[in-house]
Amino acid sequence: MKNFKHPMRHKNVFLTFIIVFVFAAILNSCSDNVVNNSTNNNISPQTSTYDGTYAMEWEMVLYNIIANESRYNPPKASRIYCYSCITIYESVVNGMPYNRSLSGQLNEMPSMPRPESSVEYDWPSVITGSMPVVIKTLLNTNYNSSLNMINNLHNRQAAERKALKDSNIVNRSLSYGESIANKILEWSQTDHYAETRHMTYVPPPRSLNPANWEPINPGDTAEEPYWGTLRTFSLPNSGYDEVSPSFLFDTLPSSPFYRDELEIKTIKENLTTEQYNIAMYWRDKQLTGTPPGHWINIICQMQTKFNMKLDKAAEIFALGGIAVADAFISAWHTKYKYNYLRPQSYIRDYIDPNFLPLIPTPPFPDYPSGHSTSSGSVSYVLTQILGQVAFVDTTHNRLGMPGRPFNSFYEAADECSNSRVYGCIHYRNACENGVLMGRKIGQTIMERVKLKIF
C-alpha cells in the first residue's frame, strides 16, 4: 500500500516555512537597531540591575551649569540637553537585551560603537565616561566652576565604581563611554547648528506688513532666526506637526486677534497674586536651566519619585530630551514663518501707547509660544510613559520659590502655557496652539521612536 500524504499537511508545512521566513526577515531588517543577545554579552549585569542615580546626577549638573553660566538661550539649551540625554541612553542600551539603539531611528544618527562580547562592562561607569566628554564639548565651557563640577562628578563616580568593581572593568567601561560620546559629537556636527552661527538676518520691517515682528528693547536682535533649519531628531521635518494660527492679524476691535491682545492689557491691569506667581515661576530666565531645563528637571524628579532603575531612567531621558529639542526646532520654524509681532508692539500701536508687559519681551516672534510647545511635547511623552502622575514641582526650590502641585503633566503644561499670557508676552492663541502643536510633536515622537524590539 502506498503511503498517503495529506495535502493539508503540505499546506501547513508551507505556511510554517513562510511564517519563519517572514519573521527572520523582520529580525534581519532590524539588526542594525536591535541590541540582541549576540552583542549583549551575558557576563555583564543588565542595566536594570542598577539604579538611575548616575544618569540623574549628570543631568542635574548640566542644569546647574546652564543656570549658573546664564548664557544659553532656550533653543541652544534644548540641543545640549537632548544630545546629553541620548548619550545616557546609548551608554547603557547594550545592557538592555530587549531594547533598540536610537541609531537608525533618529535622523542621520550613525551606528554607535558596540562593546566587546566576551568581556564585562559596568554600565554606570560607561555613563561616567561618556557624559563629561559630551557636556564639555557641547557647552564649550571656559568657566572654572563649571569644569570643576564636571570633573568632580566624574572623579567621584569613577572612584565609587572602582570601590565596587574591578578597576579593569571600570576603566574599560569608561573608555567605551568615551567612544560613545565621540560618535554622538561627530553626529552633532552635521545638524546645521554650526552653519547658523554665521548667518545674518534682517527682520522684514513693519512698513511692509504691520503684522511683522520687530525688535523692541534697546540692543535687541532676532534670536536664533535659523533654528528652524536645524536637523530634527525624530520628526520628518521641522514643519511636520505645525499648527497654523487660528485667526489672522487684524486691528478691528471686533476681531479675535484684537480681543486676544486686549485680554493681555486687561490681565496686566487686574493681575492677581496667583497669576503673578505663575508668570514668575515659569519664566525660567536668570539662574535657571532655561525652559527646556525645567522639564529635564521634572524628569529628574520623576526618577527620584519612582526610584527608577537605570534602564527606565535612560528611556525617559532619551524620549524627554528628544521631545524638548524637536519642539524648539519646530516652534522656531513656525515663529519665523508667520513672524507675528509681540503683544507689546500691538497694544502700544492699537490699544494703549503706554503699555508695558509684566515680563520683558523676548527678542523673537510671538507665534507659537516656545514654552507652550515644549511643555505640550514633553508632557505628552511623560504621560504616555508614566500615566497621570500627581506631583509637586520643586525645580525652583534653589531660588527660594515654593514647589507647585499638579495633578498631571498636562496640568503643568497648561499652567506653563498660561504663564506667558500672565506675563503679557504672548497672546493666548500662540499659547493654546503651542500646547496643541507640542502634543502632536510628542505623539509623532512616540510613534516613530521604538525603544523596545516588541
SS3 sequence of 369-414: CHHHHHHHHHHHHHHHHHCCCCEEECCCHHHCCCCEEECCHHHHHH
Q: Name the region of 290 (left: φ>0; alpha: ψ -120 to 50; beta: rest).
A: left
Predicted pLDDT at 83: 98
Let me know: does 100 contact 34? Beta carbons within 8 Å: yes
- Specify which residues 51 forms β-bridges with: 309
- Specify which residues 406 forms β-bridges with: 391
Peptide bond into 7 cis (omega under 30): no
Tens place of pLDDT per residue across the chain (454 aa):
334 334 434 444 344 434 333 333 444 444 344 433 334 557 899 999 999 999 999 999 999 999 999 889 999 999 999 999 999 999 999 999 999 999 999 999 999 999 998 999 999 999 999 999 999 999 987 799 999 999 999 999 999 999 999 999 999 999 999 999 999 999 999 999 999 999 999 999 999 999 999 999 999 999 999 999 999 999 999 999 999 999 999 999 999 999 999 999 999 999 999 999 999 999 999 899 999 999 999 999 999 999 999 999 999 999 999 999 999 999 999 999 999 999 999 999 999 999 999 999 999 999 999 999 999 999 999 999 999 999 999 999 999 999 999 999 999 999 999 999 999 999 999 999 999 999 999 999 999 999 999 8
SS3 sequence of the chain: CCCCCCHHHHHHHHHHHHHHHHHHHHHHHCCCCECCCCCCCCCCCCHHHCECHHHHHHHHHHHHHHHHHCCCCHHHHHHHHHHHHHHHHHHHHHHCCCEECCCCCCCCCCCCCCCCCCCCCCHHHHHHHHHHHHHHHHHCCCCHHHHHHHHHHHHHHHHHHHHHCCHHHHHHHHHHHHHHHHHHHHHHCCCCHHHHCCCCCCCCCCCCCCCECCCCCCCCCCCCCCHHHCCCCCCCCCCCCCCCCCCCCCCCCCCHHHHHHHHHHHHHHCCCHHHHHHHHHCCCCCCCCHHHHHHHHHHHHHHHHCCCEHHHHHHHHHHHHHHHHHHHHHHHHHHHHHCECCHHHHHHHHCCCCCCCCCCCCCCCCCCCHHHHHHHHHHHHHHHHHCCCCEEECCCHHHCCCCEEECCHHHHHHHHHHHHHHCCCCCHHHHHHHHHHHHHHHHHHHHHCCCECC
Structural domains of the chain, ranges and CATH numbers in brackets: 47-192 (1.20.144.10), 226-448 (1.10.606.20)
* Cα–Cα distance for residue pair 222/291, rounded to 1 Å: 18
Predicted pLDDT at 34: 40
Burial class (CB in 10 A: 0-12, 13-18, 19+), 377: buried
What's the grid cell of residue 82?
537632548
* Cα–Cα distance for residue pair 435/426, rounded to 1 Å: 13
pLDDT in tens, 429-450: 999 999 999 999 999 999 999 9
Q: Name the region of 135 (left: φ>0; alpha: ψ -120 to 50; beta: rest).
A: alpha
* Cα–Cα distance for residue pair 266/428, rounded to 1 Å: 13
Predicted pLDDT at 70: 86
